[in-house]
């Protein structure tokens, strides 16, 4: 089960060509390390391309998203299974 969050976050990421690898993110003044990127995919919303990353900090699972047009990040969902 996921909880919908949809809040802006700060993200540290490595951009190498087409490849984007988020390394950490800050949500509500707390820094979360990205221990594993379990999956990533793209979605088109109108003329905007959103790149989703399912990431784990070793404890919980998060879905973070990069808006390729606006160049901003947001936390989309948090897994509430623990």
Partner 1 sequence: MNRVIMHIDMNAFFASIEQKINPHLRGEPVIVGGSPHSRTVVATASYEAREYGVETGMSLSEARRLCPQAILVEGNSAKYIDTSIKIIKILNKFTDRVEIFSIDEAFIDVTGSEALFGAPKEIAQKIKGRLKKEVGLPCSIGIAPNKLLAKLASEMEKPDGLVEIKEEEVPKILASLPVEKLCGIGEKTASHLLRLGIRTIEELGNAPKELLVRHFGIIGHLLSEMGRGMDGSKVVSYTEEGEVKSMGHSYTLPIDTSDMEIVRTVLLRLSEQVGRRLRKAECRGRKVTLVLRYSDFFTFSRDLSIPYYIDYGLDIYYVALRILKRIGRLTKPVRLVGVKVSNLILDSQQIYFLDTYKKREALIGAIDRINDKFGEFTIKPCLLLMETPQEKIFPYRISPYQRKSLSYLSPFST
15 dihedral zone (left: phi>0; alpha: psi -120 to 50; beta):
beta
CB of 68 to partner 1, least distance (A): 13
Q: Is 41 exposed, middle or buried (0-12, 13-18, 19+ CB in 10 A)?
A: exposed
- Least distance (Å) from partner 1 to the CB of residue 71? 18
- Pick between residue 16 and residue 44 the one whose CB is nearest to partner 1: 44
- Please report, as ranges, the residues that interact with partner 1 according to CB under 8 A: 38-39, 41-47, 52, 54, 56, 61, 79, 81
Maximum Cα interatomic distance, the chain, rounded to a whole number of Å: 35
Minimum CB separation from partner 1 for residue 29, in Å? 26
């Amino acid at each position: 089960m996921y909880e919908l969050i949809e809040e802006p976050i700060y993200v540290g990421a490595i951009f190498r060509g087409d490849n984007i690898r988020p390394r950490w993110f800050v949500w509500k003044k707390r820094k979360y390390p990205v221990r594993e990127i379990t999956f990533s995919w793209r979605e088109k919303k109108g003329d905007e391309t959103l790149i989703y990353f399912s990431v784990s900090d070793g404890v919980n699972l998060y879905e973070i998203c990069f808006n390729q047009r606006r160049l901003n990040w947001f936390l989309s969902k948090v897994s509430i299974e623990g």
